């Protein structure tokens, strides 16, 4: 079984046991998180789609680590003006291990 979730303005295809890197979430390593914006669930008989989300479906995970992405360098140069600028940026990320996909049925 796998699911498609939305978090941080992006969509991720996840299954139980996967480790994904998402935009920074509040919490420390070992804390549990729940994603309630489940867009699609796929089981043995076929996928089910939400409009836009599937009601009562949730994906649970555990924070593995708070980390930072690779450095992106923004270099700007204006030719013949003796003007240049170099700036670096590292995006804050959270590594999450998916522990359970719940359908939310009684």
Q: What are phi and psi of 104, to 5 degrees?
A: 80, 15
Quote the domain boundaries for residue 78. Answer: 2-102
The pair of structure tokens assigned to 47 is 């996928």
- For residue 4, pLDDT beyond 60: yes
pLDDT digits (tens, 9 = 90+) for 36-68: 999 999 987 889 899 999 999 999 999 999 999
pTM over 0.75: yes
Residue 69 pLDDT grade (very low, low, confident, very high; cuts 50, 70, 90): very high
What does the alpha-carbon distance between residue 16 and residue 101 come to, in Å, rounded to a whole number? 7
Number of folded domains that form the chain: 1
Strands 2-7 and 38-43: antiparallel
Instruction: Decide if pLDDT at 81 tops 60.
Output: yes
């Amino acid at each position: 079984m796998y699911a498609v979730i939305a978090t941080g303005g992006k969509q991720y295809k996840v299954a139980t046991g996967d480790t994904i890197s998402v935009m920074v979430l509040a919490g420390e390593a070992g804390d549990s998180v729940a994603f309630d914006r489940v867009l699609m669930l796929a089981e043995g008989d076929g996928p089910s789609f939400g409009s836009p989300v599937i009601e009562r479906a949730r994906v649970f995970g555990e924070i593995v680590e708070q980390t930072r992405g690779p450095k992106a360098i923004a270099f700007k140069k204006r030719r013949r003006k003796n003007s240049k600028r170099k700036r670096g940026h590292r995006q804050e990320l959270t590594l999450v291990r998916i522990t359970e996909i719940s359908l939310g049925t009684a």
